Amino acid sequence: METNDIYQVNRLIYLSLAHSNGRKQLVGRHQDEAKELVQRYQADGQFQVMVHDGLAGLELQMLDVDALALRVSAMHAGSFFAANLTEYGKILARNELKAAELLMVHCAVATAFFPSEADLDAPVEDLGIAMVEDVVEVLRRFAEAEAQMDEDEDLVHPEVRTAAKRFRELPEENPDSKRAGGGHSWVELIQRVFEHMVETGYLLAFEDRPGELEYRPTPSYQAALKNATVYAFHAFRDVVEDHEMMAEQADTADQAEGEAQ
């Protein structure tokens, strides 16, 4: 193993971390270097093994290969590179409450695409589309479910619970002066999240009819959601699923009682 090989492995991992975290300007400044490193990764088997060993040593995993870098993420929620809500807020230059609102929207987007665990293993081309209104509907169901949770329930982060309460209090189309810079309404916030996910290669956007954007997930997005670092998504989806199951059971019981009478 040459010293230059070690340097290039570390550079590829460094630029891949920057790329995976949306640091476009940083990667852009090293665009030619990044392309060369990715090309070597794809063509040189020994170099590829070294990169994988380096990722494993940092408790990172590769999700996909893009033109400018590898798409990587933390292996598990306890990893040094796994972001908690406070760090998520710092990345977004927002406080914890605003970060929680964004996190809640991201979880709703994921639930709209992957409503069941089996969807995380299904071919992405077999999955459906999602639109803004689909995400709004998921948020409504989550907000209803959160209202019925015990005060000391810790399945989801307290700030995410606060965000759910704010969603119930503020209709999705209404402007909110407190959310300046992050979308003045829930609908606008969802639209901005969709736009960012398209920019980062996690979603594909289609406009079959003017003004009606539809979104489809990519393999990179599906792979990211299968990993333990997105435990917030799984907890969010569990709350929605449990609430829907209890609602269905209540409807069945009411129907049976009505028939008995």
pLDDT tens track for 141-150:
999 988 888 8
CA–CA gap between residue 254 and residue 245 (Å, rounded): 14
Compute the radius of gyration of the chain from its Cα atoms: 21
At 158-197, the pLDDT tens digits run 888 888 888 888 766 655 545 444 456 888 888 888 888 8
pLDDT at 10 over 70: yes
CA–CA gap between residue 21 and residue 72 (Å, rounded): 9
What is the reported pLDDT for 225?
78
pLDDT at 130 over 90: yes
CA–CA gap between residue 144 and residue 168 (Å, rounded): 8
Give the pLDDT mean for 249-261.
55
The helix (H) or strand (E) run that includes residue 109 is helix 96-113
What are 119's two structure tokens? Answer: 């969807």
With beta carbons less than 8 A apart as the criterion, state whether 147 and 168 touch: yes
The pLDDT confidence band at residue 73, using thresholds 50, 70 and 90, is: confident
CA–CA gap between residue 146 and residue 243 (Å, rounded): 9
The pLDDT confidence band at residue 124, using thresholds 50, 70 and 90, is: confident
> DSSP class of residue 76?
S
CB atoms within 10 A of CB 151: 5
Give the pLDDT mean for 32-54.
94
pLDDT at 134 over 90: yes
What are 81's two structure tokens? Answer: 């590179």
CA–CA gap between residue 186 and residue 230 (Å, rounded): 22
Q: Which residue has the tokens 């891949």?
A: 16
Q: How far is CA 85 from CA 35, 121, 157, 230, in A?
A: 32, 27, 8, 11
pLDDT at 253 over 60: no
Question: What is the residue-averaged pLDDT of the chain?
Answer: 78
pTM, entire model = 0.64
At 203-235, the pLDDT tens digits run 889 987 787 899 998 887 887 777 644 556 767
CB atoms within 10 A of CB 246: 12
Amino acid in the structure at residue 46: Q
At 100-119, the pLDDT tens digits run 788 888 889 989 999 888 88
